[in-house]
């Protein structure tokens, strides 16, 4: 697959087939992703692969935790107060997703079910959880972003689909306890990995991107 096609054709997949993703495929994706650049080659990424019963136990624990109380993530992903132009982009993204899922504003039950599907990795056979030693500096978070993008592009190269997920990091202490992860590792998020369901309407919705001249300044 052409690199530019892989980048521009990537999308967040939220409905997967039950088709198995083998160990060799997961390993090949991570083997490619590990070549991401990192400051002074620290390679800060740590990955937990969850499948089968382990993935289901984690999903049920996360759903129960959300029902019991508010999230307590290791970091704040979004701003405390939204402002433009980001506020409007967020709104349009949410509206497009709920339209694709055919969920109305007043349908609380469907909204809850849609949110819980995050914790099931949208039915993908594989969930990747991404950790970073919290003692590292902010540059390591940039490194992690490049590593995550490599995972998603490598998956496309193997005919697989992904969805990057911040939601699975809502209850990091629970995840660490479930998987026996060291306390110094912060949970950044996850990635659903599998084969996209081509018939699912939610997989056909797309978000827009600003044109180059909207975010670029040229100097000579």
Domains in the chain, please, with CATH? 3-206 (3.40.109.10)
- Tell me: the pLDDT tens digits for 47-68? 999 999 999 999 999 999 999 9
- pLDDT at residue 126 in the model: 98
Using H for helix, E for strand and C for coil, what is the string for 90-105?
HHHHHHHHHHHCCCCC
Q: How many CB atoms lie within 10 A of CB 137?
A: 10
CB–CB of 124/194 below 8 Å?
A: yes
CA-nearest of 22, 4, 5 to 125 is: 22
Give me the residues paired with residue 16 across strands.
196
- pLDDT at residue 107 in the model: 82
3-class secondary structure, 30: helix
Give buried/exposed letters for 163-180 (b at 16+ CB in 10 A, else e).
bbbebbbbbbebbbebee
- pLDDT at residue 180 in the model: 97
Q: Which two tokens stand for residue 1?
A: 């697959």
- pLDDT at residue 5 in the model: 94
- pLDDT at residue 215 in the model: 97
Predicted structure pTM score: 0.94
Give me the residues paired with residue 12 across strands.
162
Give every residue of the chain whose pLDDT is below 70, as ranges.
Answer: none
* Residue showing tokens 């495929």: 25
- pLDDT at residue 114 in the model: 84
Region class of 15: left (phi > 0), else alpha (psi between -120 and 50), else beta: beta
């Amino acid at each position: 697959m052409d690199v530019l096609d892989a980048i521009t054709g990537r999308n967040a997949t939220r409905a997967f087939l039950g088709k198995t993703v083998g160990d060799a495929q997961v390993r090949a994706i991570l083997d490619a992703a590990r070549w991401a650049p990192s400051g002074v080659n620290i390679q800060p990424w740590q990955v937990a692969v969850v499948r089968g019963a382990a993935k289901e136990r984690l999903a049920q624990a996360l759903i129960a935790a959300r029902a019991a109380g508010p999230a307590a993530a290791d970091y704040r992903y979004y701003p405390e107060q939204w402002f433009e132009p980001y506020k409007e982009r967020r709104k349009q993204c949410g509206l497009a997703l709920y339209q694709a899922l055919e969920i109305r504003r007043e349908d609380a039950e469907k909204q809850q079910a849609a949110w819980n599907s995050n914790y099931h990795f949208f039915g993908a056979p594989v969930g990747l959880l991404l950790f970073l030693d919290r003692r590292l500096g902010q540059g390591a978070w940039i490194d992690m972003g490049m590593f995550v993008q490599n995972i998603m592009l490598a998956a496309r190269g193997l005919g697989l689909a992904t969805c990057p997920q911040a939601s699975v990091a809502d209850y990091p202490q629970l995840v660490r306890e479930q998987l026996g992860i060291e306390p110094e590792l912060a949970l950044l998020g996850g990635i659903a990995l599998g084969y996209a369901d081509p018939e699912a309407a939610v997989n056909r919705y797309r978000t827009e991107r600003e044109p180059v001249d909207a975010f670029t300044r040229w100097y000579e």
